[in-house]
Structure 1
Amino acid sequence: MNAGAAAPRIAVIGAGFLGSALARGASRRDLAVTVIGRSDPYGLGDSASPSGAVFVPGYGAERLPEVLRSGVDVVVIAAGGRFPVPSGSEPAEDVIGTLSLVIPVCELVRAESPGTAVVLLSSAGGVYAVGTERKRESETAEPTSPYGMSRLTAEQYLAYYGRVHGLRTCALRCSNVYGRLLPRTRGQNVVSAAFRSALTSTPFTLHGGGRQIRDFLHVDDFVRGTLDLLTGHRQLPRIVNVGTGVGHSVAEVISAVEAATDSVVPIVPGAAAITDRGRLVVDTALLRSLIDFEPLGLAAGVALMAREVAEEAAA
C-alpha cells in the first residue's frame, strides 16, 4: 500500500509455522487478519490468545468466498502440498495438493474480489539450483525435488492469472525460515532439528558432511519483511526473494545452536542427496529496493530462538 492508503486486510490460508507467525505479526501491527486452516496448532483461535487473528476452520479454499465477501485486500497462501522429504515419495500427491489450492484461490478471487492480491509463500531452496552466485529472481529455475517442482508450477499459475486475467499476484521465494521447534515429520528445517538434538541428546543426522551452504532467515525477519511488502506496495513484482543474502554451512548452524544452548549436538553421518550439496543463497537486492530490510545474523537469530524455546519450556 502507498503512503496514506488504508491498511490492508489480510487473509492467510494455512495456520502452520509461517501462516500463524504471519497472522500474529499482522495482529501486532493492528492489521485485520483472518486465518483459514484445517487445524490450529499454534492456538490462533484460542479465546485466550493475544494474537487478535480471526481463525476460520476449513479445508483449502472452501471458506474463502465468505472471507472475501467480508472484505480482503490480500490473500496469502501458506499451505498446500507435501513437505520436502515426503514429496519425494509422493510427487503426484504433492503437486495435486499444491495446485488444488492455488488454482481455486485464484478462481475465487477472480470471481468474487478481482481487486484482491494473491501472494504465494514459495521456496527459494526448492526452486533454485545450487551455484556459486547468489540467486536472483531472474535466474532460471531448476528444481531438484518434487516439492520444488510443485512450487514452481504454482508460481507459473499465479503468473498466468496475472497475465491473462489481470489479478495482482506475487510469489515470495523464502529462504530457510527458522525460529520454532517443528515436528520431525516435516522433513525440513535444519535449525529446528539441531535444537531438538541439543535439547534431547538424540543424534542429528548430518548429510553431506555439513559443508552445504544455505541462507537461514529468522521467522521474525520473514514476518517483518513480508508485512512491510504487503503494507508498503500495492503492486509487487511477480517474484521476490525473501532471505538474508548471507550463506552459512550446516556445520555453522550446529555450532551456533551448541553455543546458544550450551549443549552438544550429537552427530551421526548420513548419505548426501542432491538437495544436500553445494551453495544456495538468494540475492536480496530487489527486496531491499522495495523495503528497508536488515535481518538478524545467524548467531543472533539462533540465540533469540534459544531464549524463546527456553521461555516456552518454562511456561
Structure 2
Amino acid sequence: MKVLITGGYGFIGSFVGERFYKEGYKVFILDNLSSGNQKNVTFPHKAYELDVADKKCDEVFKSNKFDVVIHLAAQVSVAASMEDPLLDSNTNILGLVNMLKLSSKYGVSKFIFASSAAVYGMNENTPLLEDSACDPVSVYGINKHIGEMYCRKWTEMYGLRTVAFRLANVYGPRQSSVGEGGVISTFLTQINNGKEIVLHGDGSQTRDFIYVEDVADAIFRSVTADDTGVMNLSTNQESSINELIDVLGANQPLQGILRREKRPGDVDKSVLDNTRAKRRLDWIPMYSLAEGLEKTAQWYQETIAEKEQEQESEAKKTILWFRSWDARPYIENILAFVLVIFATVGTVNSGVFDLKLIYIVLIGAIYGTKQSLLSVILACGLFIGESLHNGRDVVSLLYDANVLFHIAVYFIIGIAVGYSIDKRNRDVLSKELQRQAIEEKYDFLKDIYNDVLLVKQELQQQIVNSEDSFGKIYNITKELDSLEPERVLQKSVKVLERIMKSDEIAIYTMNQNGSFLRLMAKSNKAGFDLPRSLKMSEHAYLTELMTMKKIIVNKELRHDMPLIAAPIFDKGKMVAVVTLQQLGFENFTMYTQNLFQVAVQLISSALSRSLRYLNSTQKDRYLEDTSILIPAYFSAMVKNKRDAKQQLNTDFTLLAVDSAQMDHHTLSAYIASSLREADYMGMDEAGDVYIILSNSNEEEANIVIDRLGRLGIASRIVQEKDQDRFSLKDGVYA
C-alpha cells in the first residue's frame, strides 16, 4: 500500500508518516520545505520537493498510483492569514484542489484532509459538535471551511472517499513555534531560551490541546474505516492558557510573563466534542495534557542539548583532527630519506644499486601509496640535486632522456609498489571486517535467539494465564468438542459469556426451509427476554448474515437488531446465528469484535463436528422407520433440556402420550406432522412415548395437546418432579 503525505516533513506529517511506515505502508512525502524539516523524518521514504499547487505533481501521482493521500500541507498561522490572505488562499485552497483533482484522476481510494477547529469561529456553545454552526473569524478558518466543502463535493461528484478532520490544538515534539497550534511550542522555546513568555490577551482564552501521536493514530484508523465526512479530533478537555502556563511553570522555572494585546482572529473559547471520531474510528486519545507536555518538554530540552553539543563538536574538530593525525609514517619516511642522502653523498653511483630506488620500494612496501609518492618526490629531488651538484644545468636536465627515464622509473615503481601494498592491505582489512561482521552477526543472532526463547516462554505463560487469550479461548471451547449439537449450542452461551464478559448472549437455529430461526439458548439473566422465533423476511440483518457470511456490527446502535451477530454455517448452509445483545461501551472495540468472531468460529467448528457425529449415528438414535428416539438417547435429551433450564433458564415441556391405541410407526407419523423441527419424540424402556417441546411453557404445550387431541391422540404434561425417572444411572433408569 502506498500513502502520499503532503507536508510530510512538517510537525504532524512526520508523526503520521512514522505511523504508516510502522504499519507496513510505503511512504511518499510531498513537501516544499517552506516550514518542514527533513531531519524530522528518519524512516525510509521517497520524497518530492514540490509545492502542492505545482503542475509537476501530476507526474508524481501518475508514476506512483497512490492508495491513500494525507493532505497536511498548509499555511498554519492565523496571524499570517490575516496579514496576507492571498498567500493563505494559494496554499490552503489551490493546493487542496490540486490534490483532490489528482486523487480522483489517478484512483486514490481515501483522501484525508487536515481541517481546523478555527472553522467554528467564536461559537462558545462548547463542546462543539460537527453539526455546530461554523462562523470562522480568520482567513485561515474561512479557507479551512471552504476546504471541507471541496472535500464533500468531491465525494459527491467524483466518488472520492474523503475525511476532513477538524483538529484541535495539536502539540508535541518537532513543532515549530509558529502556527495556530503553536502556543505550547512557543512557550517552551521561550522558556528554554531563558526569555519571558509572551502572552497575547489575558490568558483566559481556552483551547483543546491534543497530543500529536493521538492525531496520527486517528488518521491511520480513518484510512481503514468506511466512514467519510467531517470529524472533530480532540480530547474534549478544555484548558485555559493561564492553566497551561501554570503546568509549564510547575516543571521548570519561568523568567516572567510579557503581556500583549490579543491578536486579531484569535478565538476566545475552543473545545471540541470527539464522540463521532471515537465511535467511527474505534479511537480514543491516549495522552493527557500533563503526559503530553512532559514528553514535549523533554524533547525540547534534548534538542537544545544536541545543539550545544554540535557547537562544541565544531570547536573541537580541528583539535581532534590534529590528535588523530598519525605523523609516524612521515617522520620515518624523512629519516629514511636522510639516511639515503648520507649514503649517496660523496659516493659514485655504480649503476648496479640505486639506493633511491631501494628507498622508494621499501617505503612503498611498508606504508603504501601515500608515503610511496612522497618518497618518489624526495628521491627525484635528490637525483636532480645530485645532477646539479655534478655541474649539470636545469635546462639540460629537461632534455636529458636518461634523467627523464630515471624519474619515470621512480614514479612507476613507487606507484606500482604502493598500489599493490594498498590493495593487499585493503583485502586483509576486508577479510578482517567480514570476519568481524560474521562474529557480530553470530552474536546478534545468538542474542536474538535467547531473547526470542525468553519471549516465547513469557508468551506461553501469558497464553495460559490470560483471560482472553486465544489459548484460553481454545481451552474453553475445547470442552464442546464431544457434545451433541443441542448441547454444543447450550454450552456455547456459557462459553461466550466467559469470553465476552457479557450476560446477554443468544443462539438461534435455522429451520429446514430457511424461513425463520428458533431461539435455542440464551443467557440466564433476569429480564433478558427475546423473541422465541425470528422470521428471516422481517429482519434485514439476518438476510445479510446469510449472504455476506460474516460478522455484522450494529454501529448505528439500532434497537431492532443485536449489537453483534455472527452466522454459523455447515456445509455451506446457515444453521444458526449467535448474537450479543449488549456490551459495555468501553469494551465495544475492534479487538472485542475480533474476539467474538474467533470464538464463534471455534464454536462453529465444534458444532460441525457434532452434526457430522449426529448424521453418522442417525440410524442408531431412532426406532427403525420412525422419528422416535430410543430410550438411551431420549434420556440424554431430557437431561440436556433440564440442564439448559437450570443453567440458562431455557423453557421446555415434557408431554406423555397415550400410545396404547396406535403402534409406534403410526403414532410417529401422526405426531411428527404436529411438531416443530426443534421438538423431539422419544420412548422409555417401557415403550411409552413422550414429546419434548423445546422453548415452550405450559400454555404453549396445551395448544399442542389440543392439536394432538383433534388427531385422536391423548397426551398430558409431565411435571418437573416426575421427570427424575428419566435420568440414567450407569445405563439404567432411576
Q: TM-score under structure 2 normalisation?
A: 0.39
Equivalent AA in structure 1 for residue 11 of structure 2: F
Alpha-carbon distance, 1:242 to partner: 0.7
Is 1:43 matched up with 2:39?
yes
After alignment, is 32-41 or 136-145 more displaced? 32-41
Give CA-to-partner distance per residue, 1:22-67, whole Å, 9 cap, x none.
112222333221111112513367xxx3x12322222215335434
| Distance across 1 between alignment mates of 2:160 and 2:59 | 16
* Higher Cα radius of gyration: 2
Alignment-mate amino acid for residue 84 of structure 1: V
Per the alignment, in what secondary structure is the counterpart of residue 280 of structure 1?
Answer: coil
Cα 1:126–1:264 change in 2 (3 A) is farther
The structure, 1 or 2, with the larger RCO (C-alpha pairs under 8 Å, 6+ apart) is 1
Q: Is the 8 A contact 1:126 1:148 kept in 2?
A: yes
Residue 72 (structure 1) aligns with: 66
Q: Cα offset for 1:275? A: 4.2
Decide whether aligned partners of structure 1 residues 121 and 195 sit closer, same or farther in structure 2, where only a CA change above 3 A counts.
same
- TM-score normalised to structure 1 length: 0.87
Unpaired stretches in structure 2, ≥5 consecutive residues: 307-734
Matches within 5 A, 1:75-90: 75-81=69-75, 83-90=77-84
Residues paired across the two proteins, number:
300
Instruction: Please give the alpha-carbon distance, in whole angstroms, between the structure 1 residues aligned to 2:165 and 2:58.
Output: 21
| Counterparts of 1:301 and 1:185, CA distance in 2 | 19
CA distance in 1 between counterparts of 2:62 and 2:290 reads 41
Aligned partner of 1:294 among 285, 301, 308: 285
Deviations 1:120-150, CA, capped at 9 Å, x for gaps: 1111134443414211111121101000001
SS in 2 for 1:217: strand
Change (3 A) 1:166 1:33: same
Contact 2:209–2:239 (CA under 8 A) maintained in structure 1: yes
Task: Give the secondary structure class of the aligned counterpart of 2:202.
Answer: helix
* In 2: Cα distance, 1:69 partner to 1:166 partner: 22
Q: Partners in 2 of 1:280 and 1:185 — Cα distance?
A: 19
Q: Which moved more, 1:266-275 or 1:145-154?
A: 266-275
- 1:63 is aligned to 57
Aligned pair partner of 1:103 in 90, 94, 97: 97
2:178 corresponds to 1:165: no
Partner of 1:33, secondary structure, is strand
1:89-168 equivalent positions in 2, closer than 5 A: 89-113=83-107, 115-168=108-161
Higher helix share: 2
* Partner in structure 1 of residue 661 of structure 2: none
Quote the offset at 1:311 in angstroms: 2.8
CA distance in 2, matches of 1:296, 1:283: 16
What is the rounded CA distance, in whole Å, between the counterparts of 2:187 and 2:48 in structure 1? 33
Q: Give me the whole-angstrom Cα distance separating, in 1, the residues matched to 2:138 and 2:249.
A: 30
The share of aligned pairs that are identical, in percent, is: 21
Partner Cα distance (2:90, 2:210) in 1: 28
Distance 2:148 2:103 in 1: 16
Per the TM alignment, residue 154 of structure 1 is displaced from its structure 2 partner at its CA by 1.0
Aligned residue number for residue 207 of structure 1: 200
Q: Which amino acid aligns with 1:98?
A: N
Matched residue type, 2:130: E
**Alpha-carbon RMSD:** 2.1
Shift, 1:101, TM fit: 0.8
For 2:243 and 2:144, the matched residues in 1 are separated by: 28
Q: Contact (CA 8 Å) 1:245, 1:283: kept in 2 or not?
A: yes
In the alignment, structure 1 residue 53 sits paired with structure 2 residue 81: no
1:272 equivalent in alignment to 2:262:
yes
Name the CA distance, whole Å, in 1 between partners of 2:215 and 2:263: 27
Which of the residues 228, 232, 252 maps onto 1:237? Answer: 228
Unpaired runs of 5+ in structure 1? 1-7
Tell me if structure 1 keeps the 8 A contact 2:109–2:161: yes
